[in-house]
Amino acid sequence: MADLSTRFAGRIRCPNPFWLASGPPANCADQVMRAFDAGWGGAVWKTIGEPILNVSSRYSSVDWNGGRMMGLNNIELISDRPIETNLREIEEVKKRYPNHAVIASLMVESKREAWHDIVKRSEDAGADGLELNFGCPHGMSERGMGSAVGQVPDYTTMITEWVKEVARTPVLVKLTPNITDIRTIGRAARKGGADGLSAINTLNSVTGIDLDTLTPRPDVGGLSAHGGYCGPAIKPVALHMVQQLASDPEIALPVSGIGGVSGWREAAEYILLGCQSVQVCTAAMHHGFRIVEQMIEGLSHWMDEKGFYTLDQVRGRSLPRLTEWKHLDLNYKIVARIHPERCIGCQLCYIACWDGAHQCIHLPSNGHAKPEAVEAASRAAIVSTPVSRAELQARMTGTPANRIPQVDEGECVGCNLCWLVCPVDGCITMERVDTGRPFESWEQRTGGAC
Task: Provide CB contacts within 8 A for 269, sequence distance 6+.
Answer: 235, 239, 318
DSSP 346-375: --HHHHHHHHHS---EEBTTBTT--GGGS-
d(CA 227, CA 414) in angstroms, rounded, equals 39
Distance from the Cα of residue 359 to its chain's centroid: 34
Q: Which of 286, 282, 175, 285 is nearest to 232 (CA)?
A: 282
Write down the catalytic residue from 136, 275, 281, 346: 136
Angle ∠(222,228,230) on CA atoms, nearest 5: 125
Q: Compute the half-sphere exposure of residue 69: CA atoms within 13 Å on the CB side of its CA.
A: 16
* Contact by Cβ (8 Å): 143, 78: no
Q: What is the dihedral of CA 314, 316, 317, 321, to 10 degrees?
A: 160
Q: Sign of the CA dihedral 267, 270, 272, 277?
A: negative
Nearest Cα neighbor of 43 from 97, 86, 99, 100 is 100
* Strand partners of residue 256: 198, 277
Question: Which candidate, 406, 402, 357, 347, places its Cα nearest to that of 379?
Answer: 347
Pairing of the two strands 171-174 and 196-199:
parallel
Kindly report the backbone phi and psi dihedral angles of residue 245, in degrees, each rounded to the nearest multiple of 5, phi listed first: -70, -45
Question: In the 8-state DSSP scheme, what is residue 273?
Answer: T
What is the number of other CB atoms lying within 10 angstroms of the CB of residue 435?
11
Euclidean distance between CA atoms 172 and 409, whole angstroms? 51
- The verdict on whether 136 is a catalytic residue reads yes
How does DSSP assign 63-101, residue by residue? EETTEEEEEEEE---S--S-HHHHHHHHHHHHHH-TTSE
Q: What's the rounded Cα separation, in Å, for the pair 265 and 206?
A: 28
Catalytic residues: 136
